[in-house]
Amino acid sequence: MRNVRIWFKKDYECRYISHLDLNRTMLRALHKSKLPIWHTEGFNPHPFATFPLPLSLGFRGINECMDVKLEDDSFDIRTIPDRLNSCLPRGIRVFDATEVIMKAGKVAYASFTIRVSADRLSSSVVTAQLRDLLGRESIEIEKKSKKGMKTVDIKQGIRSYELKEMLDFAQLDIILSAGSSDNINPQLIISALQRENGVEYDVDITRNDLLNSELELFR
Amino acid sequence: MVSKKVEKLLLKVQKPGRYVGGELNEVIKDKRNVDVRFAFCFPDTYEVGMSHLGMKILYSRFNLVDYIWCERVFAPWIDMEKLMRENQIPLYALESGDPVSDFDFIGFTLQYELSYTNMLNMLRLSNVPIYSRDRTELKNIVVAGGPCACNPEPIADFVDIFFIGEGEEVDLEVMEVFRECKAEGVGKAEFLERCAKIEGVYVPALYEVSYNDDGTIAAFTPKGDAPAVIHKRLMKNMDESYYPDNFVVPLVEIVHDRAVQEIFRGCIRGCRFCQAGFIYRPVREKSPEVINEQCKKLCMNTGYDEVSLSSLSSSDYSQIVPLLEKLTSWCGEEKVSISLPSLRVDGFTDEIMNKIKTVRKSGLTFAPEAGSQRMRDVINKNVRHEELMQTCATAFAGGWTTVKLYFMIGLPTETMDDVADIAHLGQDVVETYYQTPNRAKGKSVRVTISVSSFVPKPFTPFQWEPQDTIPTLHEKQAHIKESITSERVTYNKKLTYNYHDADTSFLEAVFARGDRKLSKVMALACERDFHFDGWNDCFSLQKWLDIFEECGIDPAFYANRRRSFDEILPWDHIDYGVSKQFLIKECQKAYNSTTTPHCRLKCSGCGAAQYGEGVCFEKRQNMV
């Protein structure tokens, strides 16, 4: 048995499907591809795949990954992208399959590019609003948790950011805490911005990379 | 493919994945290279429409033709519809993202009467006039097919062409005529007249209806050359009939998210309430070899790990065991499971059970339809109490612990005692569980009885019957509940009872047997933004009653009136191959609680033998 990490992009139409739907789509593609993937045992055997860090509905992902186990240790993993791509919708494109270097639990940060605009505001105004928000000591927001609503300070989860004023949007490149313990969804920043300014923003969020606690690329 | 304008809305609605297309196996063509663009509209949500087999067959069949590009359109859910209206975004097709108003054909499949308002609403969202007479050019031709097309009259003023019967051939013939007319520069009126000559095509504009003082139909008269009777189309040889080897595989979870393999059309049984049992006659089977091959291809091409064998009554497939043997020979290896819905109570044998047991043990569902033996004889269900108990015992011994039973109330000649027997039957099943020695150890049984209200439908022996009024149905619903609590109390928690809303059944009954006078009701409903009447979120009987009153139409005239055998029925000009004489005979037999044997036991002379194919020409076992 050999662990393999499959790398893919999730964009276009497939941006709009949830993690559960992505999972289903991937399992069907793995099944169709007839790759020698290990299947779960039991009543309904299905290909076994896990995702180190699920991606929210609506986000683009350009360096996403999924872990599977290969039953055939000598299988040439370089053939995986082509085999899978012919079984996937066009919005999901596999571009690499690699050995698993870091355990899934090592994900500590994720980097995002967020484009923000609003119908009636110029990009310089939106940029200024973002700069104001992100410059504060703390950014508190109500977050739903299992034990009801709780207040979290998302400022603590911002590792670094860069803000650029573009022609018709503000661009925020940001690194946020990610993983099972202190995950910050970038959507929370937009919610805070909306609450501050009472404006409905149009946002386009791309997740670029997953990183470990040393800010090294997750591999 | 979605436009930038639509993209802006997608993150503001539930399940945006249903509005984007881009699925595996969707068909993309260059619109400059096709002559006919067909918008295949399903008047319900994506999840419901994408589960529909007929749409999958026709989508693939149409797109096989080089000059046709068929695309899919679904009704946007209310949140998306609201945003589309607010942002002036017209309804669009998923493949190209082009507005529906760009299409040559706008085709609807009509699976249930309560989707009529969605059909009109979808036209309105497309900025296409709802009335046929207001669409004067040779474009946006509105066509419709499906089971509800068997009584097209309530929506006859809106639809240009109805396809009667099975669509695989007739739809293409109409598109060919369209292509010719377009090339010749011929107008819509001439196009419709040419189409009316094709068998299976009904052009309502070519007929005139006159009424008696009491509101019944006096005469139905064709204009010009239009045929007096429209005969249905059907596929004679199912093995040679087109079947897709590929489905569009949805990105989001749909209602039936699996491969579907059709095994036969029609039903041998002839349950007297069941429209499908009559309009799809005669039974035509595919051979096990063909089914096996088609199944394999479908699973390979879609990646689905589950395939469902589809028909009106799977256990009536004459070679069910050999078929299951063929399928299980490769399904295990390929990790594909088989599901067998629509099992009859008397068709669930050990042999079948052992073959499908490799599949997940979800609940079993049976439809005894009525509680008492007398009632089941009236409806010709031909299921005996002992058989049901035996079947349940077989299932319980096989490890099943959940059984769902479907029933109907409001059937002709029904008494309160018949209704109470529904509750008793449910309790008998619970008792059978505890009497089954080798049942699952330490587990409790769950029996659900689900009760809907009978809706008399065209082309059935009960097409003349009145529907019970809503208060009567409510009384019967309550009586079942009382009958459960009054006796054998210990089994209460093991037995769940639920029932369908009688209000929607009433409206369904009005539309199912309505006539052209209802079109003004429909138009007004459309104007008032009615949609998704089949969904509890949206349906309001009171709002409908208000419209009926404004239009001066009494809905009870259609739903609750007993019609005489000699009345001209709104659908009498349509022929589904089953004679009216036969239906009358069946109705009279029902009154005497006399059953009719199924097609394989004895031919009942319904008329379907005229097609020269199918079960009518099978060798009967008792004749050998």
CA distance A173 to A208: 10
> Could you say which DSSP state residue B91 is in?
P
Q: How many domains does chain B have?
A: 2
| Domain end position, chosen among B231, B252, B278 | B231
pLDDT at A23 over 60: yes
Using an 8 Å CB-CB cutoff, list chain A residues near B246.
none
Write the burial class of residue B251 (CB in 10 Å: 0-12 exposed, 13-18 middle, 19+ buried): buried
pLDDT at B528 over 70: yes
Using an 8 Å CB-CB cutoff, list chain B residues near A19.
none
pLDDT at B486 over 60: no
**CA nearest neighbour of B333 among A213, A31, A190:** A31
Domain spans in chain A, listed from the N-terminal domain onward: 2-100, 106-211
Task: Tell whether B97 is within 8 A of chain A (Cβ).
Answer: no
Q: What is the pLDDT of residues B12-37, one digit of tens each?
A: 999 999 999 999 999 999 999 999 99
pLDDT value at residue B385: 93
Binary contact (B301, A32; C-beta < 8 A): yes
Cα B398 to Cα B176, B364, B441, distances in angstroms: 54, 11, 12
Binary contact (B305, A39; C-beta < 8 A): no
Range in A76-90, B232-246, B431-445 the model is least confident about: B431-445
Alpha helices in B276-358 (DSSP H): 276-279, 288-302, 320-331, 350-356
> Cβ of B463: how many Cβ atoms within 10 Å?
23
Using an 8 Å CB-CB cutoff, list chain B residues near A48.
none
Write the burial class of residue B400 (CB in 10 Å: 0-12 exposed, 13-18 middle, 19+ buried): buried
pLDDT value at residue B352: 75
Q: Considering only alpha carbons, which residue of chain A is nearest residue B333?
A: A45
Q: What share of chain B is helix, strand, coil (3-state, %, to 5)?
A: 40, 15, 45
Q: Looking at the DSSP assignment, which residues form a beta bridge with residue B363? A: none
Please report whether residue B242 resides in a domain.
Answer: yes
CATH number for the region A2-100 comes to 3.30.70.580
Phi, psi of B623, deg, nearest 5: -100, -15
Asked whether the domain spanning A106-211 has the same topology as the one spanning A2-100, the reply is: yes
Q: Considering only alpha carbons, which residue of chain A is nearest residue B358?
A: A43
Same domain, B141 and B286: no
pLDDT value at residue A162: 97
Write the burial class of residue A50 (CB in 10 Å: 0-12 exposed, 13-18 middle, 19+ buried): exposed
Cα of B360 to nearest chain A Cα, Å: 7
Alpha-carbon torsion (B323, B340, B258, B40), positive or negative: positive
Region of residue B511 (phi > 0: left; psi between -120 and 50: alpha; otherwise: beta): alpha
Please report whether residue B527 resides in a domain.
Answer: no
CA distance B113 to B504: 10
Same domain, B162 and B177: yes
CA distance B202 to B229: 9
Binary contact (B305, A87; C-beta < 8 A): no
Please report whether residue B602 resides in a domain.
Answer: no
Using an 8 Å CB-CB cutoff, list chain A residues near B335.
31, 39, 45-46
Cα A115 to Cα A63, A164, A186, B174, B572, distances in angstroms: 18, 10, 11, 49, 62
Which of A20, A29, A90 has its CB closest to that of B22?
A90
Cα of A95 to nearest chain B Cα, Å: 18
Average pLDDT over residues B362-391: 91
Which of B251, B300, B301 has its CB closest to that of A17?
B251
pLDDT at B111 over 90: yes
Cα A89 to Cα A27, A85, B249, distances in angstroms: 13, 8, 9
pLDDT band, very low/low/confident/very high, at A173 (cuts 50, 70, 90): very high
Task: Tell whether B53 is within 8 A of chain A (Cβ).
Answer: no
CA distance B388 to B381: 12
Cα of A163 to nearest chain B Cα, Å: 23
Binary contact (B2, A13; C-beta < 8 A): yes
Same domain, B34 and B82: yes
CA distance A69 to B89: 46
**CA nearest neighbour of B345 among B390, B309, B399:** B390
pLDDT value at residue A77: 95
Which of A24, A39, A89 has its CB closest to that of B335?
A39
Same domain, B326 and B182: no
Using an 8 Å CB-CB cutoff, list chain B residues near A39.
335
Binary contact (A24, B253; C-beta < 8 A): yes
Helix (H, G, I), strand (E, B) or coil at B231: strand
pLDDT value at residue A146: 76
Helix (H, G, I), strand (E, B) or coil at A18: coil
Region of residue B327 (phi > 0: left; psi between -120 and 50: alpha; otherwise: beta): alpha
Average pLDDT over residues B153-182: 98
201-240 in B: which are within 8 Å (CB) of A? Answer: none
The per-residue b/e assignment along B411-440, b for 16 or more CB within 10 angstroms, e otherwise, is bbebeeebbbbbbbbbbbbbbbbeebeebb
Using an 8 Å CB-CB cutoff, list chain A residues near B361.
43
pLDDT value at residue A142: 83
Using an 8 Å CB-CB cutoff, list chain A residues near B17.
13, 16-18, 21
CA distance B356 to B346: 16
Binary contact (B22, A17; C-beta < 8 A): no
pLDDT at B601 over 90: yes
pLDDT value at residue B491: 58
pLDDT at B487 over 90: no
Name the residue with higher pLDDT: B22 or B351.
B22
Cα B416 to Cα B211, B422, B483, distances in angstroms: 37, 10, 10
Q: Which two tokens stand for residue B293?
A: 């091959």
Using an 8 Å CB-CB cutoff, list chain A residues near B303.
28-29, 31-33, 87
Same domain, B157 and B292: no
- One-letter amino acid of B437: P
Using an 8 Å CB-CB cutoff, list chain A residues near B302.
28, 32
> Could you say which DSSP state residue A44 is in?
S
Binary contact (B305, A31; C-beta < 8 A): yes
Using an 8 Å CB-CB cutoff, list chain B residues near A32.
300-303
pLDDT at B69 over 60: yes
What range defines the domain where residue B262 resides?
Answer: 236-360
Binary contact (B8, A17; C-beta < 8 A): no
For helices B53-64 and B167-184, give the axis angle rounded to 10 degrees: 40
| Domain end position, chosen among B323, B338, B360 | B360
Binary contact (A28, B360; C-beta < 8 A): no
Same domain, B177 and B259: no
Binary contact (B11, A14; C-beta < 8 A): no
Q: What is the pLDDT of residues A78-104, one digit of tens each?
A: 999 999 999 999 999 999 999 999 999
Which of A17, A28, A58 has its CB closest to that of B304?
A28
Q: What is the pLDDT of residues B283-311, one digit of tens each?
A: 999 999 999 999 999 999 999 999 999 99
- Mean pLDDT of all residues belonging to chain A: 94
Same domain, B251 and B316: yes
ipTM for this model: 0.92
pLDDT value at residue B572: 98
Q: What is the percentage of chain B residues whose pLDDT exceeds 70?
A: 96
Q: Which two tokens stand for residue B467?
A: 């529907």
Task: Tell whether B189 is within 8 A of chain A (Cβ).
Answer: no
Please report whether residue B555 resides in a domain.
Answer: no
Q: Considering only alpha carbons, which residue of chain B is nearest residue A84?
A: B303
CATH number at residue B62: 3.40.50.280
Binary contact (A43, B360; C-beta < 8 A): yes
Which of B21, B335, B360 has its CB closest to that of A13?
B21
**Interface probe, candidates A27, A32, A194, chain B, greatest B C-beta count within 10 A:** A32
pLDDT at A205 over 90: yes
pLDDT at B510 over 80: yes
Please report whether residue B551 resides in a domain.
Answer: no
Same domain, B141 and B206: yes
Task: Tell whether A28 is within 8 A of chain B (Cβ).
Answer: yes
pLDDT at A145 over 90: no
**Interface probe, candidates B4, B5, B9, B11, chain A, greatest A C-beta count within 10 A:** B11
Write the burial class of residue B14 (CB in 10 Å: 0-12 exposed, 13-18 middle, 19+ buried): exposed
Binary contact (B303, A202; C-beta < 8 A): no
Cα of A42 to nearest chain B Cα, Å: 10
Q: Which two tokens stand for residue B170?
A: 């007739």
Contacts of A92 (CB under 8 A, 6+ apart): A8, A9, A10, A14, A22, A25, A26, A29
Same domain, B42 and B180: yes
Binary contact (A17, B11; C-beta < 8 A): no
- One-letter amino acid of B460: T
Q: Considering only alpha carbons, which residue of chain A is nearest residue B304?
A: A28
Q: What is the pLDDT of residues B307-330, one digit of tens each?
A: 999 999 988 999 998 999 999 899
Same domain, B103 and B179: yes
**CA nearest neighbour of B54 among B175, B147, B178, B173:** B147
pLDDT at B488 over 70: no
Same domain, B15 and B141: yes
Write the burial class of residue B612 (CB in 10 Å: 0-12 exposed, 13-18 middle, 19+ buried): exposed
Task: Tell whether A37 is within 8 A of chain B (Cβ).
Answer: no
Using an 8 Å CB-CB cutoff, list chain A residues near B27.
none
CA distance B505 to B559: 10
CATH number for the region A106-211 comes to 3.30.70
| Domain end position, chosen among B187, B215, B231 | B231
Cα of B178 to nearest chain A Cα, Å: 33
Q: What is the percentage of chain A residues whose pLDDT exceeds 90?
A: 85
Same domain, B165 and B38: yes
Average pLDDT over residues B46-58: 97
pLDDT value at residue B624: 42
Task: Tell whether A116 is within 8 A of chain B (Cβ).
Answer: no
Alpha-carbon torsion (B74, B78, B80, B81), positive or negative: positive
